[in-house]
Structure 1
Amino acid sequence: MLVGRGSEVAAIAATLDAARRGHSATLVLEGEPGVGKTTLLAAAADLATGFRCLRGAGVPAELAVGHAVLLQLLSPLRPDLPRVPGRQQAALAAALGWSDATSPGDRFLVSAGTMSLLGAAAEREPLLVLVDDLHWVDQESVGAVAFAARRLQHDRVAVVLTRRPQSGPGTDDLADLTRRPVPGLDAAAVGRLLAGRVADSLVPALVEATGGNPLALEEVVRSLTPEERRGSAPLPAALPVGERLTEGFGRPLQRLSAGARRALLLAALSSDPGAGPVVAALRAEGVDPDDALAEAEELGVVTVRAGTVAFPHPLLRAAVLRSSSPAERRAGHAALADALAGDPDRRTRHRSQAAVGSDDDLAADLEELAARERARRGLAAAAELQEGAARLYRSAERAATARALGVEDALLSGDARRVRALAGDVLGGTAPAPARARALFCLGVLEHHAGSVPAAPALLREAVAAGEGALRLQALQELAVVGYRLGSPATVADVAAETRALADPADAVQAMLADYTEASALAFGGRWAEARAPALRALDRLESDPVMREDPRFLHLALLAPGWAGELHLARGFVDRRLAAARAAGALGVLPLALSLVAAGALAMAEHRVAYAAAGEVVELGTELGYVADVATAQELLAFEEAARGRHEQAAAALSAARHLAARAGVADGAVQIHLVDAFTALCRGDLARVAAVLEQRIVADGGRLPRGEYELAVAPDLVEAYLGLGRRADAVALAGRHAALHRGTADPDVRAHVERLAGLLADDEAGSDAAFARAHEAHGAGADPFGAARTRLLHGSRLRRAGRRVDARRQLQLAADAFDAMGLDGWTARAAAELAATGQRARRRPGPSDQLTSQETRVALLVARGMSNREIATALFLSPRTVEHHLTAVLRKRGVRSRSAVAAAFAADAGPQPH
């Protein structure tokens, strides 16, 4: 019976109840060694009536074995593997050794396969996933379990994990999951636990000495004399707690024979729960394994059953290792290596632990093992193996080269701490230029995407100087993107010139990169007409070359090239195909940047449902990857779209996140877009004072230009509207006059429409207002800003209503409401509907606050409109079919329709072409 754990058991029960109702739930129990986490997992299993339990546990010896715990968890589900989508299935099978193939996608394809396998199994019966000692679980398994826990939203899956409290620097993969500390027991609970075994008067002292740690209490009580338990003799000054707790576990070992102690050491060092290697090693040393293990089992130090050897508590394993000398541990690893002659991978791991000094042959074997881990997407394990190889090489150059490969593995695995540590080792010695270049490149990429963007250029520039061939061009391309993000046309121009000088024109990829970079430099420098030709050449190469046509690495280039050419519509011909290819390949690493470009392009073309869907997905996937700058941009876009839908709390949260991430990325100083979105969200919620304050600051800062910079006083339309609402008519008239003086003769129809809109708003007579608004509507008709056009209709209709011209007002307001509704902008639709109601016309029912679609629901609806099944949508969005089904049900309810075909019809205009 559990004592003093009522609240923890209640939290576990709530997690299980949520899963029973079809709402996936995760609970992370955090506590010090011995506090009872493992016991709580056992309680979870007892409470999980009707669940299928999947269990895994970390052990120190398997930290460097990629996917080790994932294999423990998922092996019972192997019969369900055929139900996992193809690419995910292949990657997961390769990672777990269920096939001889290598993984075709990046590490997240394995995570997606884990999610899909759990979701498939949960369709048959609820699942309880239990993982003990997560702090000793390999990084690949932690990442896969965390990914699945987040993405399984509406499946019958409960996940309960235990780990020690997190401390020190580093990324916490579970930071956003529900966590619950498991403290020591209070005095009342300790009294119940020790009732009849110690005097009641000793309880306060024991609680103070142990912190209420149950395991420490048990060990202390066992160590006390009968007199000390009764309280007739004082407690000893040093009780076996903390570090002494581990030593206390070691006391029984002193009573064992040499053979039994040797058996325990081999079991503690072995990464295999099976007893085979331990038994073979003991026999090779002339020790009877049956007698040795039986002696240890009789003392309660290990349990032996069904061909396995296990320690009842991890502190027993720790005590065995602590009680042995380094020489004894090395000898144990050597013995296990000899016993594993038929298993070269595990044999190599043990040989590396037994090695003293340099060993080039063993180092080469470790690098071969790293290559196999890399092929299985065990990138964190590969990085550790490369580091081990580096320590064994005699040659400093070979060691540096091995470490540099480890830096790349660590970068791809998302281990920022290891990237910096290994790169520091490479750069701190006399490494050859290629190794230095690789380390510098990886550091630059890390800073760009997950650190400080301003720190990236110097690192990438050094990588260019030290590198050669493909790596040099890669570094230049990364540098160009960083230059664009930091608003440095000079950097992009320098990169373009270098790329052109270095690229081999006979190589299709290098020629494309030269054209693309030239186009980006020209466009970013404001020379848009000159950028068109190289941009179109680059796009032609990207689409005509069979390799580049499908390669996810070129996805963002293909999306940007039409923009540099000034022809965004060209992306329509391939964006869906290229995104689908990247999703199918599991190339999640390229999706945040690509989808942020899709969202920005969709916003520019007033495809607001697409922008909303894509921005939300960037936030989800980018956060999963640990990206910063791309997620900051997506949060800005998401804030805009949430505000336009009237979801003001969500907009405020997204804007706050954008500011925080921009500051982390070091790009906040130039974050013009954040200020503009701040003003827009304020306008949407009716905070006109905030609109005025922000936009007035923008005029002081840069003349009130848009981020591209070519439209002076671009903020005037919104600011004039705010001034009028605040009763500051004189300021509105003055600003509108300045704006008109600058732009009355412009060739841009949308800018000309803004000039006329302001004239219509401020006209002193109705005839002048009507004429100005008529010119504005005509200009919008030739432009490409349907959102701006609808806002002009709304402002015109509002003026007409205030003038008492209800019939005329209704026509403009109905057009505005219909336009906003077609774009999915529920907040603006509601505003137009309210104005219509004020004219006396009863507006059609519009979605209320509870009917507004989320970004993820919008994503699902768009893919339904493309004719995809729930399972196909789940595969594309890295969700489970049940989650997709839940979202589709919500779309049907919120939109008041009854069929997939009705959803498809409602979203057809935004969905793009049907897949072939």
Structure 2
Amino acid sequence: MSSSGLSSDDVSPVERRTGGAAVASGKSLNPGGLVGREAELVRLTELVAGAAGGRSGALLVTGEPGVGKTALLEATRDVATGFSCLVVRGVESEMQLAHAGLLGLLSPLRDLLGELPPPQAAALGSALGWSTASAVSDRFLVGAATLSLLAAAAERRPVLVLVDDLQWVDRESVSALAFAARRLGPDAVAFVLTERDGTGPVDLVQDFPTLRVGGLSATAAAPLLDGLAGPVRERLVAETGGNPLALLESSRALDHAQMAGAAPLPSPLPAGDRLRALHRGTVDALGADAWRAVLRLALSADPDEGDREAAGLDEARTHGVVVRDGLRHEFRHPLLRSAVLERATAAEQRAVHADLAASLPAGSRAQVWHRAASAQEPDAGLATELARVAEADRDRLGHAAASLALERAGALTPDPELAAQRLAAATQEAFLTGDVVRVRRLAARVLDSGASARTRGEVLCIAGMLEQYAGSVPASVEHLREAASLLDGVMLVRALHELAMACFRLNDAAGLTDCARRTDEVADPEDPEQQLLGHFTGGFALVLAGEFEQGAARLAELRRLADHPELRHDARVLLSMALAAGITGQVRDAVTVGAVRLEEVRRRGAIGVLVPCLAILAAGRAWLGDHTGAFADAGEAADLATHLGYAADASLAVEMLAWQQAARGLHDDARASLARARDLTDRAGTSSAAAHQALTAAFCALCRSDPADVVATLEPRLAVDGGVGAGGEPLGVAPLLVEAYVALGRLDDAVALTARYADVVPSAGPPLSVALLQRCHVLTAASESVAAAAFDAAMLAHQPADDPFESARTQLLFGSRLRRTGQRVAARTHLEAARAAFDGMDLTHWVGVASAELAATGATARRDAGAGAQPLTAQETRVALLAAQGLSNREIGASLFLSPKTIERHLSSVFRKRGFRSRTELAVAFARDA
């Protein structure tokens, strides 16, 4: 495909292999056109029509070989009138080429690279070899850039992305395309991808809508089998399962008597593995020159064709093994390539690889790989060259390709320890791609290899980090503890830091304290990274152990160390600083510092660190009453976590999202988020999350006016852990449970639980706990004077607690009690204050509750911004906040890794829901939160 522009002449809808060459149409499998695929074509046509109307979508087409997936792709292309068609086909021999699929797909759009945000343009340009600019080392940024490039193209005309044989496209390209497909919205981009059954990169596209293509019925297959007797057609369909390719191939093999039903059919007929056997028979019929030529074609992305190879390919073409498209040859069907590779002996393949290597420039990537494939014995020099190829791949953010190169380099390395080190490096590169299965497999090989203690420790540390963030936290602890017993220096300090965080997630205070002690013993005082990790781990452990002043003093050192030149641009430091400020109660400071640092991270495009940082910021903002910001942060974190594979950190963000949705009356969304949070917690094995998840679930039930569910959720916690709160505080379930008891008329239970709560909350305890205890007294007081005194005490305690939401809830509950006892005028004062506070926090459900209470007092309705307003979604809230800061749609999209069209849609929804007529009105309304 041309890369000179986007006119209809320039972007021709031709199929391309990942290397970029045109190949034969899949319609050659079915010269009569598609038959029996009406339902599938309806689904695909709807997808294309949706994109034409400005609604992006994706569909994964799966099925066995020969069932007609490629023909469906071409049919989709035919109905996409007026679209720019970007087409690529995966080739097995190119899977180790980083971003090869993306290069073949996006090359026609290269001229649009300048429209991307600079970090994205640098990342994509570096990955595809379009530029030599340095890029942020974040694999997700290539996906964000792919999204932006496709969105830019779609502003000119709709775009159809067709990917055939996805199972053979390199992992980097699949990851980038999956990221873009999930996050494109009203951008006029449709994705159709085909994948052979049981072979695809399931972890990357497992959530895509799927179209399963099966065999044809006898009626549908009739046009393919014209000239065959009815019983023969039925027998063929039954024996082949209706596989179109098997039907065509088997029918061609019949003689006239068999076609007429006058002679027995061959047995067995080609179906499934037998279809493979039929293709092997076709390959077996080739002469020596043709066999050599097709084997070269099967093993090389772009083989040179000398006179001998050209003659051999001509013969292969007469046998129907290959077809010519322009100046290139390609196999008529991928099964024929597979048949060639299955027939070739290992010695034949090595010989052809050696021959191909001899025809390529020395030291080139392809030449080194062919030499590596031809090598039968260890070769130190070749292994070193392959390691250099891996380094070049890594520099281009090709971590999956680098992992493959390092794995092969390890196999060719004669020194056992160096071989293990290269395999360990392959494990690290696989970790950076998020390939959980591959990391576990490579790590197991290193651990079984007799590698040195240090190499084993490094691999265990990688495996531990993988499990902590995307797998099982208990498994992470096991790996990291063993790693810490094998490592030294900075690697030991890093392992201890990760182990400390895993212990924290599991409420293992003793384990955390031990990590802090060991870190202090081994951290190098001259190394800023080791000192930062040491102060963080030590301070964290001290604060949690009750040594607040000592711990806070150590954590205060983080800000000084974070400005060190070696750490200033390390995105991971942001996470440590935010956690440190939060655990010392400096929530406002944590939010302020975190927000500033987060913007730096966004500008640099370091997407990978955003999920945990946003989760922490969301919690801090909610504590301070900035529920607009908390909703936006939690929603963005939850959304990104879907694409990045986070588990433990994501569960916290998703749980916060459920809380925020419930507080806005989005009850179905809240239920879905709660279910997702529980699933993530189960996956991560973080049982310590059960307490605060129960409280969040109870709060959501309260918002649904379902006090019975509040009781059903929280009463069991009393038996499980004594009803501790989200932060481990004694009987933290009491405030919500007392409120539910009162709502259900169970006053005796409410009074009894309030008394128990009073026993564990000292008068000089945490201000919020004191305030909530007094609220319980308000609800259970036997007289109005006692209730009033308790209310005054509660509001006094709320002041230093700095939690506007709980303060407003106390006013709401007291005002409601006053109304029920006939003190309507007095009630209005508190209910008005509560409604104004909820409105200021954009918590539309609670605005509605307060408004209903006010109406019950006989007060004249007064419209606030939130009263009766349709609640915004989390993403709409985030977009509104950024628009209030004066950012353009393109700038907002760059910040959130979304397209300008998606931003435009969200802003339109914000304007409609809130009745804004201009950005000025929006800015005024959100000024307090922006």
* Residues 591 and 621 in structure 2, CA contact (< 8 A), matched pair in contact too: no
1:41 aligns with 2:61: no
* Residues 535 and 564 in structure 1, CA contact (< 8 A), matched pair in contact too: no
Equivalent position of 1:64 in the other structure: 96
CA deviation after TM superposition for structure 1 residue 217, in Å: 0.4
Cα distance in 2 for residues equivalent to 1:244 and 1:675: 55
Amino acid across the alignment from 1:188: T
| Cα deviation code 1:853-874 (max 9, x no counterpart) | 1111111112222332221211
Equivalent position of 2:825 in the other structure: 807
Deviates more, 1:795-804 or 1:346-355: 795-804
Query: Equivalent of 2:902, from 874, 879, 883?
Result: 883
Cα distance in 2 for residues equivalent to 1:810 and 1:245: 80
Equivalent position of 1:97 in the other structure: 129
1:707 aligns with 2:726: yes
Counterparts of residues 161-176 of structure 1 (less than 5 Å): 161-166=193-198, 171-176=202-207
| Cα deviation code 1:259-287 (max 9, x no counterpart) | 22222211111123xxxx322xxx4xxx5
* Residues 37 and 182 in structure 1, CA contact (< 8 A), matched pair in contact too: yes
Amino acid across the alignment from 1:487: N
Amino acid across the alignment from 1:215: L
Cα distance in 1 for residues equivalent to 2:195 and 2:346: 27
Change (3 A) 1:305 1:670: closer
CA deviation after TM superposition for structure 1 residue 845, in Å: 6.0
Query: Equivalent of 1:5, from 37, 41, 47?
Result: 37
* Residues 494 and 533 in structure 2, CA contact (< 8 A), matched pair in contact too: no
Query: Equivalent of 2:411, from 367, 391, 398?
Result: 391
1:210 aligns with 2:240: yes
Cα distance in 1 for residues equivalent to 2:341 and 2:756: 79
Change (3 A) 1:343 1:214: farther
Amino acid across the alignment from 2:190: A
Equivalent position of 1:429 in the other structure: 449
Query: Equivalent of 2:677, from 645, 658, 664?
Result: 658
Equivalent position of 2:253 in the other structure: 223
Counterparts of residues 191-270 of structure 1 (less than 5 Å): 191-195=222-226, 197-270=227-300
Change (3 A) 1:219 1:745: same
* Residues 844 and 869 in structure 2, CA contact (< 8 A), matched pair in contact too: no
Deviates more, 1:634-643 or 1:737-746: 737-746
Query: Equivalent of 2:549, from 529, 548, 558?
Result: 529
Amino acid across the alignment from 1:278: D
Change (3 A) 1:717 1:692: same
Amino acid across the alignment from 2:392: R
Cα distance in 2 for residues equivalent to 1:242 and 1:171: 22
CA deviation after TM superposition for structure 1 residue 342, in Å: 5.6
Query: Equivalent of 2:301, from 249, 260, 271?
Result: 271
1:182 aligns with 2:213: yes
Equivalent position of 1:515 in the other structure: 535
CA deviation after TM superposition for structure 1 residue 434, in Å: 2.4
Deviates more, 1:111-120 or 1:503-512: 503-512
Equivalent position of 2:436 in the other structure: 416
Query: Equivalent of 1:597, from 594, 611, 616?
Result: 616
Query: Equivalent of 1:581, from 597, 600, 604?
Result: 600
Deviates more, 1:26-35 or 1:355-364: 355-364
Cα distance in 2 for residues equivalent to 1:342 and 1:304: 29
Deviates more, 1:455-464 or 1:583-592: 583-592
Equivalent position of 2:339 in the other structure: 319
Cα distance in 1 for residues equivalent to 2:219 and 2:664: 53
CA deviation after TM superposition for structure 1 residue 488, in Å: 1.0
| Cα deviation code 1:856-910 (max 9, x no counterpart) | 1111112222332221211111111111111111111111112222222222222
Deviates more, 1:237-246 or 1:737-746: 737-746
- Secondary structure of the residue aligned to 1:908 is coil
Equivalent position of 1:138 in the other structure: 170
CA deviation after TM superposition for structure 1 residue 765, in Å: 3.3
> What TM-score, normalized to structure 2?
0.93
| Cα deviation code 1:420-460 (max 9, x no counterpart) | 11111111021122221111111111111121111111211
Equivalent position of 1:636 in the other structure: 655
Amino acid across the alignment from 2:546: G
- Secondary structure of the residue aligned to 1:459 is helix
* Residues 345 and 369 in structure 1, CA contact (< 8 A), matched pair in contact too: yes
- Secondary structure of the residue aligned to 2:753 is helix
- Secondary structure of the residue aligned to 1:153 is coil
| Cα deviation code 1:521-560 (max 9, x no counterpart) | 0112222232111111222322x32342331021210111
Cα distance in 1 for residues equivalent to 2:284 and 2:535: 73
Query: Equivalent of 2:710, from 691, 698, 713?
Result: 691
Identity %: 46
* Residues 267 and 278 in structure 1, CA contact (< 8 A), matched pair in contact too: no
Query: Equivalent of 2:48, from 9, 13, 16?
Result: 16
Query: Equivalent of 1:123, from 148, 151, 155?
Result: 155
Change (3 A) 1:827 1:606: same
Change (3 A) 1:707 1:770: closer
| Cα deviation code 1:614-660 (max 9, x no counterpart) | 22222222221222111222222111111111111111111111122
| Cα deviation code 1:285-341 (max 9, x no counterpart) | xx5344333333344332334432222311122222233222221111111111112
Amino acid across the alignment from 2:170: D
Deviates more, 1:422-431 or 1:670-679: 670-679
CA deviation after TM superposition for structure 1 residue 740, in Å: 3.4
Amino acid across the alignment from 1:357: E
- Secondary structure of the residue aligned to 1:304 is strand
Cα distance in 2 for residues equivalent to 1:515 and 1:646: 43
Cα distance in 2 for residues equivalent to 1:620 and 1:38: 32
Equivalent position of 1:892 in the other structure: 911
Cα distance in 1 for residues equivalent to 2:83 and 2:317: 32
| Cα deviation code 1:545-597 (max 9, x no counterpart) | 23423310212101112123331222244322321222233322222211111
- Secondary structure of the residue aligned to 1:363 is helix
* Residues 707 and 743 in structure 2, CA contact (< 8 A), matched pair in contact too: yes
Equivalent position of 1:914 in the other structure: none
> What TM-score, normalized to structure 1?
0.95
* Residues 811 and 834 in structure 2, CA contact (< 8 A), matched pair in contact too: yes
* Residues 616 and 856 in structure 1, CA contact (< 8 A), matched pair in contact too: yes
* Residues 659 and 668 in structure 1, CA contact (< 8 A), matched pair in contact too: no
1:862 aligns with 2:881: yes
1:766 aligns with 2:784: yes
1:729 aligns with 2:747: yes
Query: Equivalent of 1:837, from 851, 855, 862?
Result: 855
* Residues 35 and 183 in structure 1, CA contact (< 8 A), matched pair in contact too: yes
* Residues 726 and 732 in structure 2, CA contact (< 8 A), matched pair in contact too: no
Cα distance in 1 for residues equivalent to 2:282 and 2:721: 76
Cα distance in 1 for residues equivalent to 2:612 and 2:719: 32
Amino acid across the alignment from 1:153: G
Equivalent position of 1:442 in the other structure: 462
Cα distance in 2 for residues equivalent to 1:688 and 1:611: 25
* Residues 531 and 564 in structure 1, CA contact (< 8 A), matched pair in contact too: no
Query: Equivalent of 1:301, from 289, 304, 321?
Result: 321
- Secondary structure of the residue aligned to 2:119 is helix
Equivalent position of 1:612 in the other structure: 631
Cα distance in 2 for residues equivalent to 1:466 and 1:748: 42
CA RMSD in angstroms, aligned pairs only: 1.9
* Residues 102 and 376 in structure 1, CA contact (< 8 A), matched pair in contact too: no
Count of matched residue pairs: 897
Counterparts of residues 717-756 of structure 1 (less than 5 Å): 717-743=735-761, 745-746=763-764, 748-756=766-774
* Residues 380 and 413 in structure 1, CA contact (< 8 A), matched pair in contact too: yes
Amino acid across the alignment from 1:230: A
CA deviation after TM superposition for structure 1 residue 395, in Å: 1.6
| Cα deviation code 1:675-706 (max 9, x no counterpart) | 11121111111221221233223333333332
Amino acid across the alignment from 2:890: R
* Residues 390 and 399 in structure 1, CA contact (< 8 A), matched pair in contact too: yes
* Residues 646 and 849 in structure 1, CA contact (< 8 A), matched pair in contact too: no
Amino acid across the alignment from 2:752: A
Cα distance in 2 for residues equivalent to 1:741 and 1:94: 63
Equivalent position of 1:158 in the other structure: 190
Change (3 A) 1:874 1:792: same
For structure 2, list consecutive stretches of 5 or more residues without a partner in the other structure.
1-32
